[in-house]
Structure 1
Amino acid sequence: MTITSRKSSASAIVASALLASLALTACGKEETSNVNRPDPTEPQTKVEDNKPVTVSMYIHASMVDDADLKTYFIEPLKAKLPHVTLDVIRDGKGFQVEEVLATGTFPDLIVTSNPNIPIFKDRGLVRDISSLVLSHNIDLNRIDKTLVDAIKMNSPTGELYGLPFRQNLGVLIYNQDIFDKFGVPYPTDGMTFEEVVEKARKLTRVEGDTNYIGYDPGNVPNNVSTSLSLPFADPKTHKASFDSDGWRTVFEFLKTAYEVPNFIGPNKEFKYPNGFQTEKRMAMQSTWVLGVAVAASQNKYDGMKWDLVANPNFKGHVGEGREADVHLMMLSKLSKQPDAAIEVMKVLLSEDVQTAFSKNGRRSVLVDDAIHKQYASGIEQFKGKNIAGIFKTKPIRPHEVSPYDAKLRALVEATKQEFAIGGKDLNTYVRDLQEQANKEIEAMRK
């Protein structure tokens, strides 16, 4: 594929990209049985004629890297939709949503995740694809209902703004070498966060020049609060939601984790983003299984004996996973070839593409045990791992997203040090955070 040069003007950049940024032309034949009647109520692209057509796609928030783009999008399209040319635009400098939209057009397809749907909804770029799904014979019963519902909940009337093509699951990965070194039993499926911290107490210590960390909560809104589906703000009252029992549970756990002896480093370190994979001195880490699969396939865990268990949760919620993390494709309201775009979505939902996802550690969205049983079978470093534990928790319904989530999520991360090294007590922290958050909301509303 070819990447065109970028110009200083956002309009020129986008116009150039829409025409030729990543021209990826397929070259195989699609079975006639896979071509369906277009919906007569939609603008027509007669996909049954197999006439050459260009479908543009906007990849938001680095949802798909170049390797996955080639393996799961480009190669299948070559085989199934030879008449389709896919133009790909990634968000970034000069290609932010507002900059692209300012040109008066927008790519046909939007690749993003469900928490980001409001970004495109607020800009009038989403559309209900229910009629197109019906006319193109896409059976929603093949797809995990939790994932479809996670998309529909972004509309008060349950409109379907897109289709999932991949999902992510939370897991706890652990370094067996550290557990063996200190004679601590390995984690097990079905643990509570409280039990994780108790294990961390036995593993967080200084040995020679190494400060071992038993467990780092990491990105709290992502790793912990999503296990309880906690809202950041009420979109109706425009007030923050931090002064609540659920968030207090999260912050109390956070404070307990930070107070483990030797967790705070000699230079007041309290975050260890490289502690597990690179430095290999962190015993346990909450993470997404997709990240584990990518790292394992790239041999990033070489020199470490590791395994994983089901995502832990708080008491009363064990067995529940994190909020459903849905990687989806939406049809832009500005698309001029909706039928061809829907056919691209359909390719991603085909059994062979979903099987390829599964074999390479990308969780399929289909309700198909035969596909799920092949999970990570194509990754050498996953052999002998506790793959069954990954699926012992089920994704839960996401919280209701507000326009303020991104700002408030960042606020929680920015104020963690007040717990870790600032000495604030729980009540003071919650009160101050709630006050700061409401000020942020008020400023955004103005």
Structure 2
Amino acid sequence: MKMTVLSDDQNAFKEVFAEFKKENPNIDVQIDTIPQQQYYEKLRMQLSSGENIDIIGGNMDVFLDTGILEPLDDYIAKNKMDVSGFGPLYDNLKVNDKTYGLPYRKSNWMLYYNKTLFDEMKVPYPKADMTWDEFRDLAKKMTKGEGANKVYGAFLHPWAQTWYMQAVQTGASIIDKDLSPFKKGLQFRMDMEKDGSIMSWAEQITTNAHYNSAFQKGNVAMNVIGDWHVAQLRAAEQEKKISFDWDVVPIPHPAGVPANTSLATPVSLMLNKNSKNKDAAFQVIQFMTGAKGAKVFASKGFLTGYTNDDIRKAYIGDGSLKPKNIHYFVEQREYAEYPLLPGVKNIVLNNIYKQEGEMALTGAQTADQAIQKIGDRVQKEWADKYAKDYKNTKK
């Protein structure tokens, strides 16, 4: 039996499978991966050409329009799988009232900060309850120097999520008819660039700047990025690549929104409807996404889809590993980063928001013009094609 998973997750999957094997010695699984840049494109091609992959790992929405996913509801009922630990995610992931994937992890966002830089500049650490405006002021305070020696107050990766998250934190969706909440977030990023406290989008692209290497250099005070960065920083510490102290606090929030409100992207395991090993494959999915697998993933620093007190403890650990404030991750209130429907990621997010946002960030249009164009394009390029055929069970 074969499964293909994201490259960053492959080693953890091998450890979870070793636990599974203790209970199921007769089931063998080859755990493959594909380099991250080509992951979804190549995997879709492999599946459409009939390649023998039983279990698919990744963002469920990318595969919904292929017709390749087997609904899991009957397997869940037949195996009496306890789905209570998924909480609201279980229903939020249903499409047209069917379950096509179970989340083994979810990607929530956090603010990482370089404690050493704050200590050196004698500035108090970021607060756990901080508005975006307070974050902007703090980033200005932590910015100093010029050229190669410049210390940036913050790093916002070039992804559109780093500006549109402010609207999603209020409960807005990137396919809403009224996109006015999104203007504020885009304008905010543009204003921070003008402040000089973050690297401009244009400079990020020309220098190929990346949140991980930028933060590890030690000249970025705050980094707004997802939970996966914990594992990257821990690995860097083990390899003696970083010498500064660091910690996390919740991402800033819009005024009027509770502290520690994040956006989340569930990453799921799915069953290929053409698999010749469906029952055995579901056993693997059940173990890896359920309580037993989640405990192993959590101990490796993954924020799991399934959670209970044991899993929370495994995630938080014994306090010997950074970040000290890791508990904030398991206390978050979450909104889906985007609706998990076909085309939303590859059309709405990767094309429309990316292109129009970049036009604004390079000065070719205003934030108002960008959001107006995004609204028009979402209707023409996404809604007219998909909206009538797909619905989330819960919005």
> What's the TM-score, normalizing by structure 1?
0.73
Corresponding residue of 1:430: 371
Does 1:159 find its partner at 2:102? no
How far apart, in 2, do the equivalents of 1:208 and 1:324 lie? Answer: 35
Corresponding residue of 2:118: 179
Corresponding residue of 1:254: 189
Does 1:57 find its partner at 2:3? yes
Q: SS of 1:375's equivalent?
A: helix
CA-CA distance at 1:345 after TM superposition? 1.6
CA-CA distance at 1:396 after TM superposition? 1.9
How far apart, in 1, do the equivalents of 2:319 and 2:12 lie? Answer: 15
1:151-181 deviation per Cα after TM superposition (whole angstroms, max 9, x unaligned):
21xx12x211122222232110001122222
Does 1:369 find its partner at 2:309? yes
Corresponding residue of 1:406: 346
How far apart, in 1, do the equivalents of 2:361 and 2:261 lie? Answer: 26
Closer, same or farther: CA 56–376 of 1 in aligned 2, 3 Å? same
Which residue type is aligned with residue 164 of structure 1? P
1:212-267 deviation per Cα after TM superposition (whole angstroms, max 9, x unaligned):
11112224433342451554446xxxxxx6x72121122122122212146457x9
Corresponding residue of 2:390: none
Which residue type is aligned with residue 430 of structure 1? I
How far apart, in 1, do the equivalents of 2:360 and 2:247 lie? Answer: 30
Closer, same or farther: CA 257–343 of 1 in aligned 2, 3 Å? same
How far apart, in 1, do the equivalents of 2:199 and 2:56 lie? Answer: 42
Which residue type is aligned with residue 90 of structure 1? T
Q: SS of 1:206's equivalent?
A: coil
Which residue type is aligned with residue 353 of structure 1? G
Residues 76, 347 of structure 1: 8 Å contact kept: no
Closer, same or farther: CA 209–121 of 1 in aligned 2, 3 Å? closer
Residues 12, 300 of structure 2: 8 Å contact kept: no
CA-CA distance at 1:119 after TM superposition? 2.6
CA-CA distance at 1:207 after TM superposition? 5.7
Residues 232, 402 of structure 1: 8 Å contact kept: no
Which residue type is aligned with residue 128 of structure 2? D
CA-CA distance at 1:423 after TM superposition? 6.7
Which residue type is aligned with residue 273 of structure 1? H
Corresponding residue of 1:289: 227
Q: Which moved more, 1:164-173 or 1:371-380?
A: 371-380
Does 1:329 find its partner at 2:269? yes
Q: SS of 2:243's equivalent?
A: coil
Closer, same or farther: CA 339–119 of 1 in aligned 2, 3 Å? same
Corresponding residue of 1:69: 13
Does 1:130 find its partner at 2:68? no
Greater Rg over alpha carbons, structure: 1
Closer, same or farther: CA 63–176 of 1 in aligned 2, 3 Å? closer
Residues 204, 260 of structure 1: 8 Å contact kept: no
Closer, same or farther: CA 167–431 of 1 in aligned 2, 3 Å? closer
Which residue type is aligned with residue 368 of structure 1? N
Which residue type is aligned with residue 16 of structure 2? Y
Q: SS of 1:84's equivalent?
A: coil
Which residue type is aligned with residue 203 of structure 2? E
Which residue type is aligned with residue 317 of structure 2? S
Identify which of 129, 143, 160 aligns with 1:204.
143
Does 1:225 find its partner at 2:173? no
How far apart, in 2, do the equivalents of 1:353 and 1:443 lie? Answer: 40
Corresponding residue of 2:392: none
CA-CA distance at 1:380 after TM superposition? 4.3
- Aligned pairs, number: 372
Corresponding residue of 1:146: 88
Q: Which runs of 5+ in 1 are unaligned?
A: 1-54, 235-240
Alignment of 1:318-357 (within 5 A): 318-319=258-259, 321-349=261-289, 351-357=291-297
CA-CA distance at 1:359 after TM superposition? 2.2
CA-CA distance at 1:372 after TM superposition? 0.5
Q: Which has the higher contact order (CA 8 A, sep 6+)?
A: 2
Q: SS of 2:296's equivalent?
A: helix
Corresponding residue of 2:218: 280
Residues 360, 376 of structure 1: 8 Å contact kept: no
How far apart, in 2, do the equivalents of 1:129 and 1:436 lie? Answer: 34
Which residue type is aligned with residue 149 of structure 1? D
Q: Which runs of 5+ in 2 are unaligned?
A: 387-395
